[in-house]
C-alpha cells in the first residue's frame, strides 16, 4: 500500500500545477499542494489536481491514501516544499499528421523548443517513430540506420536497406509507414523502463532506449 501511495502522489504532483486556477505560478501551486499534504488536508490537495489526475483517482481513494500513509505523505510534502530548480512550464501541440511541437514558457512568452528543428529526434518514443517515418519517406537510409539498435546493425548499411526496402520489401514498408502515419496523431505509446510499444493498424512497433536515444527494435 505504501508503494502504491507514493506512486499515486507522484502522479498527482505531475498534474497538480494544471489544476489550481488561483495560483500565480508553478512554485505557488507546489507550495500550496505540499502544505495541504503535510497538514493532511486531502480535500484541498485534491482540488488542486488537474481534471486528468482526478479521473485517475477518486476523492475517496485520494483521501484514504493520505490517511493510510501519513509518514510517507509528510516526507513527500517536505520534499516538494524544497524544489531544487526553477519550474519549467511546457506545452505540446500535435498537428493533424501526428507531428509534435514542443514549446516552453519563458518570461511570460511561449517559445518553440529546439526539438522543432530536429527532424529526426530520438528523445522520446513518439519523436523516434516520427523521425523514422520521415527518414523512410525521404529515402534517407543513412538516417534510418540511426534508428536501428546496435545489436541489429551488423551487416547493415544504407545501400542494403535501399535495395531491400525499395525492392522485395517495398510494399510491406509502404504499408507500415502509411499505418504509422495514420495512427500517430492519437496512438497511445506504452513505456516500461527502456522499452516502449505502440500499436498501429494490425501491427505493433517495439522501441528500445540505448544511451538515451530511442530506436526501432522491431515492427510487424
pLDDT tens digits for range 43-96: 998 888 878 778 878 899 888 888 888 887 887 787 777 755 666 677 777 766
pLDDT of residue 180: 92
pLDDT of residue 33: 87
* Domain assignment present for 209: yes
Whether the Cβ atoms of residue 147 and residue 132 lie closer than 8 Å to each other: yes
Question: Do residues 57 and 139 share a domain?
Answer: no
* Domain assignment present for 71: yes
Question: Do residues 75 and 121 share a domain?
Answer: no
Q: How far apart are the C-alpha atoms of 136 and 148, rounded to whole Å?
A: 13
Q: How far apart are the C-alpha atoms of 85 and 178, rounded to whole Å?
A: 42
Q: How far apart are the C-alpha atoms of 26 and 215, rounded to whole Å?
A: 33
What CATH number does residue 184 fall under?
3.10.450.50
* Domain assignment present for 94: no
* Domain assignment present for 25: yes
pLDDT of residue 169: 92
pLDDT tens digits for range 98-120: 666 777 777 778 877 655 567 78
Q: What length does the chain have?
A: 220
Question: Do residues 149 and 207 share a domain?
Answer: yes
* Domain assignment present for 169: yes
pLDDT of residue 17: 46
Q: How far apart are the C-alpha atoms of 186 and 206, rounded to whole Å?
A: 17
**Claim: this prediction has a pTM higher than 0.75:** no
Q: How many structural domains compose the chain? A: 2
Question: Do residues 62 and 136 share a domain?
Answer: no
Question: Do residues 126 and 61 share a domain?
Answer: no
pLDDT tens digits for range 153-191: 999 999 999 999 999 999 999 999 999 988 888 888 999
* Domain assignment present for 90: no
pLDDT of residue 217: 94
pLDDT tens digits for range 84-100: 566 667 777 776 666 66
Question: Do residues 121 and 211 share a domain?
Answer: yes
pLDDT of residue 99: 64
**Cell numbers placing 144:** 534510418
Query: Collapsing DSSP states into helix, strand and coil, what is residue 45?
Result: helix
Reported for 207-215, long-range contacts at CB under 8 A and 24+ positions apart, including other chains, are 207/125, 207/128, 207/129, 208/149, 210/149, 210/150, 212/123, 213/122, 213/123, 213/128, 214/122, 214/123, 214/124, 214/125, 214/127, 214/128, 215/122, 215/128, 215/146, 215/147, 215/148, 215/149
Confidence of residue 32 (pLDDT cuts 50, 70, 90): confident
Question: Do residues 73 and 129 share a domain?
Answer: no
Question: Residue 39 is part of which domain span?
Answer: 2-80
Question: Do residues 142 and 55 share a domain?
Answer: no
Q: How far apart are the C-alpha atoms of 54 and 48, rounded to whole Å?
A: 9
Amino acid at each position: 500500500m505504501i508503494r502504491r501511495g507514493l506512486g499515486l502522489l507522484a502522479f498527482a504532483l505531475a498534474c497538480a500545477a494544471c489544476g489550481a486556477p488561483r495560483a500565480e505560478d508553478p512554485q505557488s501551486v507546489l507550495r500550496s499542494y505540499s502544505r495541504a499534504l503535510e497538514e493532511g488536508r486531502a480535500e484541498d490537495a485534491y482540488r488542486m489536481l488537474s481534471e486528468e489526475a482526478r479521473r485517475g483517482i477518486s476523492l475517496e481513494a485520494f483521501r484514504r491514501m493520505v490517511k493510510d500513509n501519513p509518514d510517507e505523505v509528510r516526507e513527500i510534502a517536505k520534499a516538494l516544499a524544497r524544489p531544487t530548480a526553477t519550474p519549467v512550464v511546457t506545452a505540446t501541440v500535435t498537428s493533424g499528421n501526428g507531428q509534435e511541437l514542443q514549446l516552453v514558457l519563458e518570461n511570460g512568452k511561449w517559445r518553440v523548443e529546439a526539438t522543432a528543428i530536429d527532424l529526426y529526434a530520438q528523445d522520446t518514443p513518439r519523436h523516434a517513430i516520427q523521425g523514422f517515418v520521415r527518414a523512410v519517406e525521404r529515402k534517407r537510409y543513412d538516417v534510418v540506420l540511426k534508428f536501428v539498435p546496435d545489436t541489429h546493425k551488423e551487416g547493415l548499411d544504407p545501400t542494403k536497406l535501399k535495395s531491400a526496402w525499395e525492392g522485395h520489401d517495398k510494399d510491406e514498408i509502404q504499408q507500415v509507414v502509411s499505418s504509422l502515419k495514420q495512427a500517430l496523431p492519437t496512438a497511445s505509446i506504452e513505456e516500461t523502463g527502456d522499452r516502449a510499444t505502440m500499436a498501429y493498424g494490425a501491427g505493433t512497433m517495439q522501441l528500445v532506449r540505448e544511451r538515451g536515444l530511442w530506436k526501432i527494435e522491431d515492427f510487424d
